[in-house]
A and B are shown apart, each in its own frame.
Chain A
Amino acid sequence: MGSRGFGVAVASLLVWLLLAGPAMAHKLTVFAAVQGTKVTGEVYFRGGAPVRNATVAVLDPAGEKLGETTTDEEGKFTFVPRVGCDHRLVVKAGEGHAAEFTVTADELPRGLPAAPGTSRTGVSPRVSGTGVLPVRALSPGSPGTGETPVLLNSRKPADNQPTLPGETSQGSESIAELADRLEGLQTQVVKLREDLVRYEDRVRLHDVLGGIGCILGFMGLTFYFLGVRRREKAAATNR
């Protein structure tokens, strides 16, 4: 192949690369995070298009089904975990597409029964208002963030107890404020993790170049071994 041919090849590859910039394959991605007592998540195709009405199966680490939920019009889903083990979320959306995401046990709210094998696991973790509300009522001011009650119980009461009753109400106000802020922070962290997952999904130029470089390397190797064989053959015929 002449240098012109090689130039043409490189030029056409570069055109492809330019086209490739925003392109993403339509692979499925599941993302989920714990928000309060709920696990909320999203199912989307590469490129961000939501997957509607997809069934999300929730499995425990042993593969036992804990329940299932369905995505809404925006590809989002929510469920309330009842067991304190790792939750594997498996989505099968037809066309041979499947995706998986694991919510680990230490992300889940504290105080859930640890044993996944108890008889209550038959309960479907489908989102239900009754499942969320009682928990909210237990931790006043905070819409059920898993960790805040622990924080509040351990620190604030100790500070407030020796002071006057009037100040206690003020203290509880600041507790509510704190809980609010914590929730905001948690939302931000979830957003950040989502961004990270999306970032990892993206096709990056250096990956493409790396792949092409590998192919060129394979070509070089093939040339080397074919060349060795050729030389041996030539030597054999010369003898």
Chain B
Amino acid sequence: MHVPEGVLSGTASGIAVLGASALVAAAGTALGLRRMDYERVPRVAMLSAAFFVASLVQVPLGPTSEHLMLNGLVGLVLGWAAFPAILVALILQSIFLPVSSGITTLGLNTLTMALPAVVAHYLFRRAARSDRAAVAFAAGMGAGVVATVLGAMLLSAALVAVGEGFARVSQVVFALLVSLAPVEGLVTASAVLFLRKVRPELLDAPVWRTTPLEVSDG
């Protein structure tokens, strides 16, 4: 998912794309920070940590493998605060982990992951608060899939905007990321179900009184 350092910074249009996306990412981060009040700080930190670590989980996809992003989950829980959470995680990834994100591509990478997260938040947060487990599961699934596909679209658009030479490359990227979407969806859906059971307030959801998924022994 990450655009590595040096791929885009070579050309003028590449620098323009990087600059523009950095500005948008900065705006999103500012908005996210303004909406982050005292009570929400720990959950932002927690989701940021989860996002940071999720990049180490490799999903084998054909010849290569892609790492999990979990930006759907981050968005579902955090909303606009997904921007600062993902930005911090990406900075730390570029320092600590050999995930190929760099400082110049930080803005673009933040944008392509955090913006879909916010979209997923507004599309699926209500469904994720549903009392019915199946609906909550589907909401998680949807958030994971939408966030991944949308991220892939943004990334491909950025690569296409840089020049014709990247068009074929971005098709490959797009196909690869879209094939990751079901995995993201499943992981996000199970995470949502898990949160609904253990910590429903993370999703601003009421406590589940009935446990719909429990199978009776009778």
Instruction: Select B199's contact among A5, A26, A211, A230, beta carbons within 8 Å.
Output: A5
What is the total of A-B residue contacts with beta carbons within 8 Å? 131
Q: Contacts A23-B58, A25-B67, A26-B65; is A203 near B98 (CB within 8 Å)?
A: yes
B63:A49 contact, CB within 8 angstroms: yes
A215:B92 contact, CB within 8 angstroms: yes
B52:A215 contact, CB within 8 angstroms: yes
Question: Which residues in window 26-51 of B have CB below 8 A to A?
Answer: 36-38, 41-46, 48-50
Q: How far is the CB of B207 from chain A (nearest CB, A)?
A: 13
The residues of B that contact A94 with a CB separation of less than 8 Å are 168-169, 172
User: Does B20 lie at the interface of the complex (its beta carbon under 8 Å from any beta carbon of A)?
Assistant: no
The residues of A that contact B44 with a CB separation of less than 8 Å are 219
Q: Contacts A25-B97, A95-B169, A201-B98; is A20 near B41 (CB within 8 Å)?
A: no
Interface of B is mostly: helix
Distance of A65 Cα from B175 Cα, bound (Å) = 33
User: Does B54 lie at the interface of the complex (its beta carbon under 8 Å from any beta carbon of A)?
Assistant: yes
A214:B92 contact, CB within 8 angstroms: yes
User: Does A222 lie at the interface of the complex (its beta carbon under 8 Å from any beta carbon of B)?
Assistant: yes
User: Does B183 lie at the interface of the complex (its beta carbon under 8 Å from any beta carbon of A)?
Assistant: no
User: Does A1 lie at the interface of the complex (its beta carbon under 8 Å from any beta carbon of B)?
Assistant: yes
Report the count of interface residues on B (CB-CB < 8 A): 49
Distance of A8 Cα from B49 Cα, bound (Å) = 14
User: Does B99 lie at the interface of the complex (its beta carbon under 8 Å from any beta carbon of A)?
Assistant: yes
B41:A96 contact, CB within 8 angstroms: no
Distance of A13 Cα from B54 Cα, bound (Å) = 9
Of all chain A residues, which has the CB nearest B95? A211
User: Does B148 lie at the interface of the complex (its beta carbon under 8 Å from any beta carbon of A)?
Assistant: no
The residues of A that contact B198 with a CB separation of less than 8 Å are 4-5, 8
Instruction: Select B96's contact among A95, A211, A218, beta carbons within 8 Å.
Output: A211
**Residue interface bits B1-36, CB-to-A below 8 A is 1, else 0:** 011101100000000000000000000000000001
Interface residues on A, range: 35 or more
Of all chain A residues, which has the CB nearest B36? A222
Q: How far is the CB of A199 from chain B (nearest CB, A)?
A: 11
Q: How far is the CB of A109 from chain B (nearest CB, A)?
A: 29
The residues of B that contact A46 with a CB separation of less than 8 Å are 98
| Pairs A-B, 9 closest by C-beta atoms | A219-B45, A20-B56, A27-B100, A207-B96, A211-B92, A23-B58, A211-B96, A25-B99, A16-B53
Residues of B within 8 A of A (CB): 2-4, 6-7, 36-38, 41-46, 48-50, 52-58, 63-67, 88-89, 92-93, 95-100, 159, 166, 168-170, 172-173, 176, 198-199
Can you show 21 pairs from A to B with CB atoms below 8 A apart?
A16-B50, A23-B58, A24-B98, A25-B98, A25-B99, A26-B66, A27-B99, A27-B100, A28-B4, A49-B63, A96-B4, A98-B6, A207-B97, A215-B48, A215-B88, A215-B92, A216-B45, A218-B48, A218-B88, A219-B45, A226-B41
